[in-house]
Amino acid sequence: MIEKRDFYINGAWVAPAIAADLAVIDPSTEQQCAVISVGSQSDTDDAVAAAKAAFPAWSATPLEERLAALERLEVIYKAKKTEMSEAMSLEMGAPKSLSESSQWGAGAWHIKEAIRAARAYEFERKSGDDWIYHEPIGVAALITPWNWPMNQVTLKVIPALAVGCTVVLKPSEIAPLSSILLAEMIDEAGFPVGVFNMVNGDGAGVGSQLSVHPDVDMVSFTGSTRAGALITKAAADSVKRVSLELGGKGANVIFADADEKAVARGVRHCFQNTGQSCNAPTRMLVEESIYDQVVETAKGLAEKQEVGIAQKDGRHIGPLVSDVHWHKVQGLIQDGIDEGARLVAGGTGRPDGMDVGYFVKPTIFADVNNDMKIAREEVFGPVLVIIPFKDEADALAIANDTPYGLGNYVQTQDPEKAKRMARGMRSGMVEVNGNFLGGVTPFGGYKQSGNGREGSVWGLGEYLEVKAVAGIS
């Protein structure tokens, strides 16, 4: 059992106003691994009040002093790689190797890049005879999900603090352990009291309280499109800024001239993190002339994909995060079968020999059309659907026929075709031939995938107001 921590408010660990506990479950074993407190309105109010009181001094602190505090945090974060990696494996089921590399590594990268970007940022500049100032927006409420804990927490907390905002973090109640550990690191780094605050709780409670709070100046949320819409509505009465990074249903378009590793790359990327990534390429669009071959290749890869507990080494995929999510994914797999899609690998139920843990069979459907539920809804599990297309125009039409617009993928050796497809896709990100976007590019989407952009200078801008001033030299 992990030692219980309560809330971090105004530079101290404090007990909740109302005693209410919630169990944290290890998805590999279905056993309780920790207990957290659940915040009430009083706890939320205290955290927001602390952030509001700390804002004037923190926003006026010279940039280099703020960045020095973040650099101290960076050193501590790197030194506690093992503890952080183990926390994420335990709370949300990321396999040990993935947790140590990508899960922990994403946080390390975002801390480093936010510091670099802030140091180079032009917070004030001349525009003709006038001045343009970029100033911190104020108190930022940060609501984060469970699937990539430190990736999303550091993408919000670090740029907000760098530009001079004060924050209240509400991490996912399903996977709160890594955020509690980060709060301990922030405390050790010596940030001024009230600059960073953290309250655990669920979306209906603390999340809603932050969304409507009159002293919260903005809400940054990563999660489902449904929850993002509710937050936007809740925040509307106070006209606070709402930045959203939401779901996705990425198309991976494989042309006949794609390189020989394209299919394997697409299947592995879809299954990474057990499919629990908003930018996963979950729709594989395949040119008709190579369709049968691609289906067979994908089938073989799925059948060879190992599944195992999070705490062991290897390139296996782990469990889904929770019992509730396991049943949701099982239901969508059954929907695919009922809709008449051809099940070529996997299916409902746990993998053979696995009776405990929220494990799912790596699943592939072929002969899918874009009207099917499994082609339109975000499954958020290791489920790939394969859809044939006739030509470039058909591929583009299918790729764009979705309410989402986060990330898409193109596989072709024709550079002009790749460029046409990338420009024609209605999404915030496009990756071609396995070239991953770097940390200095914006992360975010079109349509129901949200309206925010995170990472590098774009991430800083989310937390800044723009002020124009005339008549001063």
Q: Give the catalytic positions in this structure.
A: 245, 278
d(CA 5, CA 22): 12
- Give strand pairing partners of 131: 126, 469
Structure-block tokens of residue 352: 């053979």
Q: Which helix (H) or strand (E) holds 188?
A: helix 177-189
CB atoms within 10 A of CB 432: 17
Whether 159 contacts 463, CB under 8 Å: yes
Both tokens assigned to 336: 């695919």
Tell me if residue 462 falls in helix, strand or coil: coil
Residue 468 tokens read as 């124009």
Distance separating alpha carbons of residues 25 and 16, to the nearest angstrom: 21
Query: How many helices (H) and strands (E) would you count in the chain?
Result: 16, 21
For residues 332 and 316, give the distance between their C-alpha atoms in angstroms, rounded to a whole number. 23
DSSP E strand boundaries for 231-271: 241-245, 251-254
Q: Could you tell me the CA-to-CA distances from 461 to 190, 378, 454 in Å, in that order? A: 25, 29, 9
Q: Helix H segments across 5-40? A: none
Give the list of residues 6+ apart from residue 160 with CB closer than 8 angstroms, or none: 140, 142, 167, 220, 463
User: How far is 364 from 375, CA to CA, in rounded Å?
Assistant: 12
| Residues 444 and 450 sit within 8 Å (Cβ to Cβ) | yes
- The set of long-range contacts for 14-19, using a CB threshold of 8 Å and a minimum separation of 24, is 14/46, 16/40, 16/43, 17/42, 17/43, 17/46, 18/42
What are the backbone dihedrals phi and psi of residue 280, each rounded to the nearest 5 degrees, phi first?
-65, 140
How many residues can be counted in the chain? 473
Looking up tokens 């709060």 gives: 183
CB 382 within 8 A of CB 308: no
Q: 């004030």: which residue's tokens?
A: 124
Strand positions, DSSP E, 144-188: 166-170
Cα separation, 69 vs 58, in Å, equals 11
